[in-house]
Structure 1
Amino acid sequence: MNPLPSTESGNGEAPLLSKNKLKKLKRDQEWEANRAKRKGKRREKQIEKKQRKRAARQEAAPISPTKQIPVVENGQEKKIAEPKKSIGQEYTQLPLTLVLDCGFDDLMIDKELKSLGAQVTRCYSDNHKASLQAHLAISSFGGHLKERFDGLLGGQYHSWKNVRFLEGDFVQAANQAKEWMKGEHGGKLAGAFALEDDSSQTSHAQSEAGEVVYLTSDSPDTLTELQPYSTYIIGGLVDRNRHKGVCYKKAIDRGMRTAKLPIGDYMQMTSRFVLATNHVVEIMLRWLELGDWGKAFLQVVPKRKGGVLKSKIQDPDDGAGGEHLAEENAEVKISNSKVEDEDAETLDEEYIS
């Protein structure tokens, strides 16, 4: 810790510091000195939280009789407990691809690149934990983002499942996605896609008709629903609104269709309709489960954006009942189970699995 400057100044040297400024300087120095200790405590709390959740799951799991298997040892037969098999997470793979376009490395400062790393990690975590999973790809994976994942994050992304890290851009990723969604492992129609006819002829026709859309809030077109056998590209850019319209222009220059999520059709917001990359991914995953944009937005959009569901337009024949329904809808507030305003380092540690 650097020594505090003296309150005395001699011979016209550095000006005197007031007692309040000295106290503030001392607090700042102590805060910096204890940074590693605070990070260690956060890590310990996260480990304890995971252990509590694991213990709760084990207690809730049904107890099954242990199977005994015969083993011959020294000429005598003995029975020992059969080793437990690891049970993987059950999920349904959907024929739909989400691509995170991370080709904006040169437009972000270090703090924004750190935030993008946390958002990419969270996108993977949300998709990995979802009961209905999309194919996930990270395009233009390189530069500072790759350095962060290989260095500070210890290359843990190499063990991630159902995600592809690609050096090529989003156009190349979209072309490859057509192959990922074909065949036995391409996915089946479930959730919001369950009403689709899953016959071989229909599935083949849909796979040929699947759309490729770059999602950007600057697009004049609105996405009304997600289509099976389609690829949706989300810009991985954290710029604090410095580079407006960059994703839209990039998509148009490559001749790609653009669209925005229908948040303006369902929500009244006190801020802009621009969402973080991980929020867009989570909203789409919720829609795949629910088939309802309004419910998806309510579950995901951060409370700090001050959004409420738009009141339904009253039909003159509805009378008082219509007014009551409008009042109820106006009072529905956004609920968000995610912890907001966490720093990027905490997000990186918490959501890597």
Structure 2
Amino acid sequence: MATEKADPQEEVINDVESMAEEGCQDSTICSSMSKKALKRQMKYQAIVMEKKAKRKEEKERKKARKREASERQTAIEGDLGNSDTAHEVDDDNRKHSKKYSNKAIRERLEDAMKSGQRICVDCGFESNMDKKEVCKLAQQLGRLYGANRHAEKPFHIYFTNLHKDEAIYKECVRVNCGFENYLIEMTDKSHLESFDRSEIVYLTPDSANVLEFLEPDKVYIIGGLVDESPQKNVTLKNAEKFDVKTAQLPIDKYMEKVEGKFNYSKILTINQVFDILLTFYNTGDWKKALVAGVPRRKGYKLMEADKKL
């Protein structure tokens, strides 16, 4: 039968209590310590002894773990034989796979810049934004580019009205690693200077026209505006000022409002609008596109088939 291991602290405390009950026969100890002081001293010694015992046990456990690990490693090396070579091959394969993936992405983006559907972000709204909103715009542009990189069929992207000496460009460089090397067209010229006016379709939620499809000879402009307290018709007025065509996403055509406490706003972030366009460009399906880009918190869901106009 196994016996319980003695607790050194308990033993010492029991000894102290026995001495106290017997009246402390050691005159030397009694002359220098009261009973309380003696108990405190003996308890301290018991704690020290207990810690030493625990440290010794922990050392033994560590030694045992090391022995087990060494035995396992020996067994593995014996089974694999050429384990180092196998690891080197795996590393080479991973590097090759990543290199091939990056090469494929670059090729797709370069092809898109030659013949892909054109999407432009108009970065000419800096005066309408505060510092916090400019930072959010820079983050959204980074997410937009990330989505385009991973698309099977990416867009040919333009950033217009982007001046290197102004806050938007500087913030994009600060928050987006490698921004200067993005495979897109960046220019300080406006979209009106960069494209023929007949090619431009300015996307705005305030337009009376609904976007039905993407025309290859058109360039679709997304207003680069982050507005924490939305200013109505800003992008629409900007487009109408220069007499260019406008359109809104077909949210009302394919989606309906959900009952609840929602604001039912059709104002989306730049990267959300881009995600909708990118999904539609790759699938040809507005339902998939809108589900991908319109957040549920906006209060919309896909319309049932029999309700769709």
Structure 2 length-normalised TM: 0.60
Q: Is the 8 A contact 1:221 1:259 kept in 2?
A: yes
Alpha-carbon separation, structure 1, partners of 2:135 and 2:281: 29
Partner of 2:172: 149
**Greater strand share, 1 or 2?**
1
SS in 2 for 1:226: coil
Alpha-carbon separation, structure 1, partners of 2:304 and 2:101: 51
Alpha-carbon separation, structure 2, partners of 1:85 and 1:305: 36
From 181, 205, 213, the counterpart of 2:201:
213
Distance 1:87 1:237, change over 3 A: closer
Partner of 1:137: 158
C-alpha deviation, 1:84, in angstroms: 9.2
Alpha-carbon separation, structure 2, partners of 1:105 and 1:228: 29
SS in 1 for 2:157: strand
Please state if 1:304 is matched with 2:292. Answer: no
Distance 1:144 1:224, change over 3 A: same
Pairs within 5 Å for 1:93-242: 93=112, 94-142=115-163, 143-150=166-173, 152-153=174-175, 156-161=178-183, 163-175=184-196, 211-242=199-230
Alpha-carbon separation, structure 1, partners of 2:142 and 2:101: 28
C-alpha deviation, 1:113, in angstroms: 0.6
Partner of 1:275: 268
Distance 1:307 1:174, change over 3 A: same
C-alpha deviation, 1:86, in angstroms: 7.2
Partner of 2:22: none
Partner of 1:71: none
Alpha-carbon separation, structure 1, partners of 2:230 and 2:289: 28
From 210, 221, 231, the counterpart of 1:243:
231
Partner of 2:244: 256
C-alpha deviation, 1:214, in angstroms: 0.2
Alpha-carbon separation, structure 2, partners of 1:298 and 1:153: 28
Structure 1 length-normalised TM: 0.53
Q: Which amino acid aligns with 2:297?
A: R
Alpha-carbon separation, structure 2, partners of 1:105 and 1:273: 22
Q: Is the 8 A contact 1:137 1:173 kept in 2?
A: no
CA RMSD of aligned residues (A): 3.0
Q: Which amino acid aligns with 2:227?
A: D
Q: Is the 8 A contact 1:99 1:173 kept in 2?
A: no
Q: Is the 8 A contact 2:202 2:220 kept in 1?
A: yes
Q: Is the 8 A contact 1:264 1:273 kept in 2?
A: no
Q: Which amino acid aligns with 1:104?
A: F
Deviations 1:82-104 (A, max 9, x none): x9997432536353111101111
Alpha-carbon separation, structure 2, partners of 1:85 and 1:303: 33
Deviations 1:234-259 (A, max 9, x none): 00101124321010001011110001
Partner of 1:88: 104
Distance 1:59 1:268, change over 3 A: farther
Q: Is the 8 A contact 1:220 1:259 kept in 2?
A: yes
Partner of 2:9: none
Deviations 1:282-317 (A, max 9, x none): 111100111110111112222322321111226xxx
Show structure 1 runs of 5+ residues with no match. Answer: 1-54, 62-82, 179-209, 315-325, 327-353
Q: Is the 8 A contact 1:149 1:156 kept in 2?
A: no
**Greater helix share, 1 or 2?**
2
Distance 1:111 1:224, change over 3 A: same
Deviations 1:129-149 (A, max 9, x none): 211111101111122101213
C-alpha deviation, 1:126, in angstroms: 1.1
Structure of greater relative contact order (alpha carbons < 8 Å, 6+ residues apart): 1
Deviations 1:185-207 (A, max 9, x none): xxxxxxxxxxxxxxxxxxxxxxx
